[in-house]
Amino acid sequence: MGKTFIIDNKAENQFLVNREAFVDQAIFEQERANIFEKCWIYVGHESEIKNNGDFHTRTIAGKPVIFTRDAEGEIRVLLNTCTHRGSLVCRGEQGNCKTFLCTYHAWSFKNSGELVGVPMEKDGYAETFDRKALDLHRVRNESYKGFVFCNFDDNAISLEEYLGGAKVYLDYVADQSAAGMEVLPGTQKYAIRANWKLLGENSIDGYHVGYNHKTYLDYISDEGQDISKGLYGEGKALEGGHAVMQYEAPWGRPIAKAQENWSDEKKARIAAKRAELVELYGEEKARMIADISRNVWIFPNLIINDIVSVTIRTWDPVAPDYMEINAWALGPVDEDAKERELRLDNFLTFLGPGGFATPDDIESLETAQLGFKNTVKQVKWSDISRGMHREVSPTTDEKQMRAFWRKYDSLMNAEEKAVQETNA
């Protein structure tokens, strides 16, 4: 019998999540196999490897990989393990090189993965020695609007099919400038002593904002922002476990007092940018880009926060109660120095690990994880039923989370369902 992860009772408007999913080691290992080995996982942005030979080393689903652009300009995701005896072939975090060298026995590989150097090869190996069979393992990768994902399952559906209805929300992010978007230098790295799924839930949860982030709300209110409407918008469940929370901008942005205080030069730049978006995409898409903020959750572990700045945030589950987070700022290639300074300040001030919001969130997630010690027999279920009785949900509802959990449950019980269908 498979595990009952959710109770999805539409007749009674009740949705419960089994708290074992946050604490159990066996379930964690099953997640590795059923989700992270099967789904498209975000690796990086094409702008991070602009030049042939550029690379970044990253951990994706617990696996060390090299994210690189090879000598021919092709994007590669290579497993960072020597095919001889397993050592890392690249120990730097980023750089530019033509080959990767294992320092253990000096085997060397092109940045496309081919094994090109084996010391003492002729007198050490028989004629049957096959270099080709010992290339670095190339992980399947595809990109959408510059966002690069990999998949450890060669039989998985295409990335575009996987993204489904989430593509339009990635479009709103990727199409903010005709010149293109780029990841800005620098990575925010931190860890949270909580289950990885809690960060996804929190990132599209408008319910907690008015309470958990009161200090920040008081600050921007003092700066002249009208926050009386709250996060006025909608939470949406997208197919494939993806979800979005969107609301009116510029709520939550600590900009100078109010728009009437902007300089004529700044107003002119903003008007020109809006006119460019209208010319490129039409009024409606320009409005969605310029006037609407959004938090997009791409199943299972990518969040795009297009709010106080555009933030790419992903996390790697290490244990049932521990995850490691990486975050990057994304901005238009052609923005001027002042705009970029403000973007980076907003990125750090609100979403940074020492900013207004993130420490609040970390504290909440870690205390939830502590609370999960009271689980299994005594308090087995979390209630995620808010707003289940209505079709259109405000951002304070939990429709967004239910999208994730329904997909999670289907993948975690996929093998049992396949057997049942076979035996039917």
Residues 340, 293 share a domain: yes
Residues 192, 147 share a domain: no
| Domain assignment of residue 5, yes or no | no
| Domain assignment of residue 106, yes or no | yes
Q: Average pLDDT over the chain, rounded to whole?
A: 91
Residue 382's pLDDT is: 95
For 186-199, the pLDDT digits (tens) are: 999 999 999 999 99
Residues 259, 372 share a domain: yes
Residues 358, 287 share a domain: yes
Give the whole-number percent of the chain exceeding pLDDT 90.
74
| Domain assignment of residue 29, yes or no | no
- The lowest-confidence range among 89-93, 194-198, 241-245, 349-353 is 349-353
For 38-66, the pLDDT digits (tens) are: 999 999 999 999 999 999 999 999 999 99
| Mean per-residue pLDDT, 6-24 | 96
| Domain assignment of residue 12, yes or no | no
| Domain assignment of residue 96, yes or no | yes
| Domain assignment of residue 158, yes or no | no
Last-in-domain residue among 110, 134, 151: 151
Confidence check: pLDDT of 378 > 90: no
Residues 350, 252 share a domain: yes
Residues 318, 249 share a domain: yes
For 271-300, the pLDDT digits (tens) are: 888 899 999 999 999 999 988 999 999 999
For 135-158, the pLDDT digits (tens) are: 999 999 999 999 999 999 999 999
CATH number at residue 78: 2.102.10.10
The region, left, alpha or beta by phi > 0 then psi within -120 to 50, assigned to residue 339 is alpha
Name which of 165, 107, 173 is nearest 329 in CA terms: 173
Residue 265's pLDDT is: 80
Confidence of residue 414 (pLDDT cuts 50, 70, 90): confident
| Domain assignment of residue 166, yes or no | no
Local structure of 251: helix, strand or coil: coil
Residues 362, 219 share a domain: yes
Residue 219's pLDDT is: 78
Residue 417's pLDDT is: 62
Residues 301, 249 share a domain: yes
For 193-232, the pLDDT digits (tens) are: 999 999 999 999 988 887 888 888 887 777 777 776 666 7
For 81-140, the pLDDT digits (tens) are: 999 999 999 999 999 999 999 999 999 999 999 999 999 998 899 989 999 999 999 999
Alpha carbon distance 376, 20 (integer Å)? 6
Residue 418's pLDDT is: 55
Q: For the chain, what is the domain count? A: 2
| Mean per-residue pLDDT, 233-242 | 95
Alpha carbon distance 2, 415 (integer Å)? 9
Residues 223, 313 share a domain: yes
Confidence check: pLDDT of 369 > 70: yes
| Domain assignment of residue 213, yes or no | yes
Confidence check: pLDDT of 423 > 50: no
- For residue 306, what is the enclosing H or E element? strand 302-306
* Dihedral sign from CA coordinates of 145, 297, 10, 4: positive
Residues 378, 286 share a domain: yes
Residues 124, 199 share a domain: no
Residues 354, 234 share a domain: yes
Confidence of residue 424 (pLDDT cuts 50, 70, 90): very low
b/e 320-347 (16+ beta carbons within 10 angstroms → b): bbebebbbbbbbbeebeeebeebbbebb
CATH number at residue 295: 3.90.380.10
Query: Are 157 and 299 in contact, with CB atoms under 8 Å apart?
Result: no
* Structural domain harbouring 92: 41-151
Residue ranges in 65-213 assigned as alpha helix (H): 121-124, 159-163, 167-174, 196-203, 209-212
For 382-398, the pLDDT digits (tens) are: 999 999 999 999 999 99
Measured from the Cβ of residue 234, the count of other Cβ atoms closer than 10 Å reads 18
Residue 260's pLDDT is: 56
Higher pLDDT, 341 or 183: 183
Confidence check: pLDDT of 302 > 60: yes
